[in-house]
Amino acid sequence: MIADDTPLADIAIIPASLHKPLERLELRTVNDLLTHYPRRHEDRTQFDRFPSGETEMPVCVRGVITKTALKRFGGNRKMFDATFEEIEAGALSSPLILRWYNMHYIQKLIAVGQTVIVYGRTRLRGRNLCIEHPEFEIADEGETAGENLNMNRIVPIYPATEGITQRILRRVVFDVLSDTKRMETPLPEELIDSSRLEALKAIHFPNSLEQLETARRHLVLTEFFGIQLIVAQRRARTLSASGAPHCGPGKLLDGFLANLPFPPTGAQKRAIAEIRRDLASDHPMNRLLQGDVGSGKTLVALSAMLLAVESGCQAALMAPTQILAEQHYLNFCRLLEPLGISVALRTGARKEESGGSIMGSSRVSRDESGAPALFVEYPNDLPEAISYSRRSLPHFERPWAKYAISFSTRNRRKLTPEARDIVLDCLIHWKDKRYELYAACVMPDHVHLLIEPFVKDRNDKGDPVFYSIAEILHTIKSLTAHQINKLERMTGSVWQEESFDRLVRSERDLQEKYHYIVQNPWESDVVTSEEGYQWVWFPGCEKAVARAATSSASRRLQQASGLPSPARSHAVSAQILIGTHALLYDSAQNDLPGLGLVVIDEQHKFGVLQRAKLISRNPAPDVLVMTATPIPRTLTLTAYGDLDVSILDELPPGRGRIRTELRENGKLRDPDKFKEYLASGRQAYIVCPVIDESETKEVKAAAVEFEKWSKFLAPLKCELLHGRIAPDEKDAIMRRFRDGKTNVLVATTVIEVGIDVPNATVMIIENAEKFGLAQLHQLRGRIGRGSNTSYCILLAGTADETALEKLRVLARTSDGFEIAEADLELRGPGDILGTAQSGFPPLKIGNILRDGDLMRLAREAASRIVSADPKLSAPENQRFRLFSVESSHKLLSHVS
Ligand code: ADP
Ligand code: MG
């Protein structure tokens, strides 16, 4: 008997000649074949009439070929035209031309006299009404015995069937379906009472369109139910994980709230109460806090952290980028220091602690032995999908990537001691600006260094873009070459163009590279073990000290003590810890035994698996995930379905309206009026997609726009802000803007986060089409913060209709959820669901946007079943358990 998992190769009725082609379509088992769902159906009981003009939607027509012709066009290229006429007697329609370009094999398939079924859109080409590259099927071709599957019925049209015709596939599916007598239906009766087998028969060969719809509903529910069983079980596991209550009595929070200049909104109060209940329970919290830009999520996070801290544990906040982490850090310090709460910052770039012991940003935190801070072990259970080649940057999947780099002088040119000084100075100069430096050694004719590149900017999707190794080295080489040549009164290249970089793969790898670099002069016998060498640098070895050391023995001793000891690292004693997402993988988490609450800000880059890892700690911390990008409701049921959800659906009071206008011609309506408006005291942002024109010629660059606007708006003051500006400078620029000393900030997307200037009431976005919808929405959230009406002007740099359509969404609505749904619709759900990140296989039949109500039904059924029987061990639940196992296998095979 045929079962779901019977290999197609074992089924006698399938001719052996089809095994290969089926395999190519990845159809291996009966289930694969039967869930190879039709892409669409054609109702061949009644065809459309021949249209008389261009059609918006494809038509399905039947006719006869009356003439064919192979023609040349544009030199050597060929097109094949077939004249196609309606059969129906007395039809007054004019013929259509079926046209194929450069597909010579078509002429072998189509001949005069054939009856053909054609599907496609008609287009006027000259005086002819054409269908170009139509889908077609020859109606009277080689009909086999048995039921006619291709005519006079609703016929399935399958997705790409390379190497196998639609007809043969129909026959195989039909035969397998007819031979299948029984099939388990994995849906509970309460959800649907039809059988799976009937549904499969009807999805392939429906008797009516109603039957087709019912079948589809059954199969979509099945697909969603499989997902929801996994979600429900994930949830059940979280609930049964051992956690601990992390909730203080609330005095601290009450005091904090009482001293705020404003009362929390109703939505904030609700969210805080929900979180408080979770914190107090001994199950680990796993909650999503959703709220539009400006809805005040930070306050909720802070309240949660205060409750946790009051109970005596530590709380951590993880931000997706360094800039955002710093922003939170400054904010938290300001708010919490008066309460006597200690806050620490830990990102790749800076490690600071508040409360008197602020460490300079140029220093790396060290363990007791003075070793460089914490190496991050790459989590070994991340999906393979996140693999990348050693050289491929940006490496934002792994922002904490470290590299060991070496480069040599050209022709082994010897660097004088002065030249070596120049090089080492330069390496140290860029430290904390473009990279974190872990070790460096300038040898007489080559250089070694161990670095971790920093975030340079964000791309138009909002992902961080890192300084590339090439970029970093280029700067170092050209700057030093210039200085060295000047010093030595020489010209020509100092450095070999080529350099070698290796990605550091593990803690051990790091230790080895580190030792290798700091001991290189001695190991390579450039100096004897009795001598010192001044051009070695590592954290804690201040250059001055290294150079002053004359006694070689003491010098080496000092070095020996500076070597990192593998297992130990720096324990953080602060009550609140703020860092980037890398913090999670940090060895730091091992020195945070008191970690009770983790807040993850902007979870988009943070998948289910990472969250699972966090919760798998024992005891599990409470987890609060925050997102400012509203997640469409359908997705909160799936990709985030294992989370409880709190929603901030209320903006703090006193916010002015934002009017958004799309300028399709890419120009301001009246620049002079804009100037006047600014002169009256308001401020504006002008946002550009890139920093330099050299990056891409087609889009407006901040640096260039800055020049233009400065001139035009003078004497009003403009400033330029982008990710390449050093942090201190950036702070100063922001401060001047906040204090009203600057009228206009010309910027890249760095202003997407963290700036809160109520007097800034205009935002002009250049080449708005270059940004994602969600990102534009975020950007726009920077205005409308005061009580006055604000204006967001989107300048389009394209006439592309799809792009303009996208921008019109923003002009139409400011509802984050609506925008998120539109975004999802435009990008296609495949982007979000069905990635390794979301932890679900791609959907075969369901549409996460349109079938939201079915998803809800499936979810309710699955959670009812799982909450009554979390392990699905009851006899009557066996079919669900099997189905869930099967579904997660699909998931696993997808992820790997
Ligand atoms: P987001 O949800 O985008 O992270 P923030 O937490 O940054 O929003 O809050 C946006 C602004 O609103 C901040 O300036 C914050 O101080 C202010 N804010 C937050 N809650 C309230 C409130 N209840 N009443 C008035 N202003 C508030
Ligand atoms: Mg925020």
Interior angle at CA 679, CA 675 and CA 683, nearest 5: 85
Is residue 421 predicted with pLDDT exceeding 80?
yes
Which structure tokens are listed for 171? 């026959």
Average pLDDT over residues 607-612: 61
CA distance 717 to 628: 31
Which structure tokens are listed for 9? 């190769």
Nearest to 428 by CA among 331, 522, 352, 363: 363
What pLDDT is attached to residue 542? 52
Q: Which ligand is nearest to the CA of 325?
A: 2
Q: What is the DSSP string of 280-311?
A: HSSSPPEEEEEE-TTS-HHHHHHHHHHHHHHT
Average pLDDT over residues 621-638: 77
- Residue spans of beta strands (DSSP E) within 303-402: 314-319, 343-346, 351-353
What pLDDT is attached to residue 507? 63
Average pLDDT over residues 140-155: 72
What does the mean pLDDT of the chain come to?
A: 79
Is residue 42 predicted with pLDDT exceeding 80?
yes
What pLDDT is attached to residue 382? 27
Query: Among 293, 299, 303, which residue has the most ligand 1 atoms within 8 Å of its CB, making it the best to mutate?
Result: 299
Q: Which ligand is nearest to the CA of 296?
A: 1
pLDDT digits (tens, 9 = 90+) for 767-780: 999 888 888 888 89
Is residue 895 predicted with pLDDT exceeding 50?
no
Q: Whose CA is nearest to atom 20 of ligand 1?
A: 296
Weakest-pLDDT range from 239-253, 372-386, 607-621, 640-654: 372-386
Q: Find out whether 445 and 408 touch, Cβ atoms under 8 Å.
A: yes
Which numbered atom of ligand 1 lies nearest the CA of 297?
2
Q: How many CB atoms lie within 10 A of CB 393?
A: 18
Query: Among 262, 327, 600, 649, which residue has the most ligand 1 atoms within 8 Å of its CB, making it the best to mutate?
Result: 262
Q: How many CB atoms lie within 10 A of CB 7?
A: 11
pLDDT digits (tens, 9 = 90+) for 524-534: 778 877 777 88
Model confidence at 579, pLDDT cuts 50, 70, 90, reads confident
Q: Locate all alpha helices (DSSP H) within 758-815, ordered by sequence.
A: 773-780, 801-812
What pLDDT is attached to residue 177? 93
Model confidence at 395, pLDDT cuts 50, 70, 90, reads very low
Model confidence at 844, pLDDT cuts 50, 70, 90, reads confident
Q: What are the Cα distances from residue 781, in Å, to 393, 658, 659, 668?
A: 30, 9, 12, 21
Cα of 320 from ligand 2 centre, angstroms: 11
What pLDDT is attached to residue 673? 92
Q: What percent of the chain has pLDDT above 90?
A: 30
Cα of 746 from ligand 1 centre, angstroms: 24
Model confidence at 268, pLDDT cuts 50, 70, 90, reads very high
What pLDDT is attached to residue 692? 74
Which structure tokens are listed for 180? 């299948």
CA distance 368 to 693: 47
Cα of 654 from ligand 1 centre, angstroms: 11
144 against 571, higher pLDDT: 144
CA distance 182 to 196: 9
Q: How many CB atoms lie within 10 A of CB 854?
A: 22
| β-bridge partners, 132 | 99
Q: Which ligand is nearest to the CA of 753?
A: 2
Cα of 833 from ligand 2 centre, angstroms: 24
Q: Whose CA is nearest to atom 9 of ligand 1?
A: 296
31 against 234, higher pLDDT: 31
Q: Would you say the CB of residue 839 lies under 6 angstroms from ligand 1?
A: no
User: Three-state DSSP class for 530?
Assistant: coil
Model confidence at 765, pLDDT cuts 50, 70, 90, reads very high
SS3 letters across 559-595:
HHHHCCCCCCCCCCCCCEEEEEHHHHCEHHHHHCCCE
Query: Which range, 196-205, 291-300, 489-498, 545-554, has the best average confidence (pLDDT)?
Result: 196-205
Q: Which ligand is nearest to the CA of 293?
A: 1
Q: What is the signed CA dihedral for 363, 367, 368, 370, rounded to 10 degrees?
A: -50
Which numbered atom of ligand 1 lies nearest the CA of 268?
23
Strand order of the β-sheet with 286-291 is 351-353, 343-346, 576-580, 314-319, 595-601, 622-627, 286-291, 644-648
Q: Would you say the CB of residue 291 lies under 6 angstroms from ligand 1?
A: yes
Q: Would you say the CB of residue 297 lies under 6 angstroms from ligand 1?
A: yes
Is residue 558 predicted with pLDDT exceeding 50?
no
Q: Whose CA is nearest to atom 4 of ligand 1?
A: 297
Query: Among 256, 257, 295, which residue has the most ligand 1 atoms within 8 Å of its CB, making it the best to mutate?
Result: 295
DSSP class of 39: S
Query: Among 298, 626, 655, 757, which residue has the most ligand 1 atoms within 8 Å of its CB, making it the best to mutate?
Result: 298
744 against 555, higher pLDDT: 744
Q: Whose CA is nearest to atom 11 of ligand 1?
A: 294
Can you give the C-alpha Rg of the chain in angstroms? 33
Which numbered atom of ligand 1 lies nearest the CA of 601?
4
612 against 644, higher pLDDT: 644
351 against 336, higher pLDDT: 336
Weakest-pLDDT range from 82-86, 663-667, 826-830: 826-830
779 against 215, higher pLDDT: 215
What pLDDT is attached to residue 189? 87
Average pLDDT over residues 688-705: 78
Model confidence at 559, pLDDT cuts 50, 70, 90, reads very low
Query: Which range, 179-188, 536-545, 839-848, has the best average confidence (pLDDT)?
Result: 179-188
Q: What percent of the chain has pLDDT above 70?
A: 79
Is residue 596 predicted with pLDDT exceeding 50?
yes
Q: Would you say the CB of residue 756 lies under 6 angstroms from ligand 1?
A: yes
What pLDDT is attached to residue 893? 54
Q: Would you say the CB of residue 268 lies under 6 angstroms from ligand 1?
A: yes
Q: Would you say the CB of residue 321 lies under 6 angstroms from ligand 1?
A: no
Q: Whose CA is nearest to atom 18 of ligand 1?
A: 296
Cα of 491 from ligand 2 centre, angstroms: 52
What pLDDT is attached to residue 554? 35
Cα of 833 from ligand 1 centre, angstroms: 30
Average pLDDT over residues 357-380: 29
Q: Which ligand is nearest to the CA of 655?
A: 1
Q: Would you say the CB of residue 294 lies under 6 angstroms from ligand 1?
A: yes
Is residue 855 predicted with pLDDT exceeding 60?
yes
Q: What are the Cα distances from residue 385, in Å, to 93, 388, 844?
A: 54, 9, 20
The one-letter code for the residue type at 790 is S
Model confidence at 299, pLDDT cuts 50, 70, 90, reads very high
Is residue 130 predicted with pLDDT exceeding 70?
yes
Q: Would you say the CB of residue 265 lies under 6 angstroms from ligand 1?
A: yes
Q: Would you say the CB of residue 296 lies under 6 angstroms from ligand 1?
A: yes
509 against 402, higher pLDDT: 402
Average pLDDT over residues 541-564: 38
Which numbered atom of ligand 1 lies nearest the CA of 265?
23
Which numbered atom of ligand 1 lies nearest the CA of 262?
24
Nearest to 80 by CA among 61, 39, 108, 51: 108
What kind and span of H or E run contains 33?
Answer: helix 30-34
Which numbered atom of ligand 1 lies nearest the CA of 648?
2
What is the pTM assigned to this prediction? 0.58
Cα of 91 from ligand 1 centre, angstroms: 68
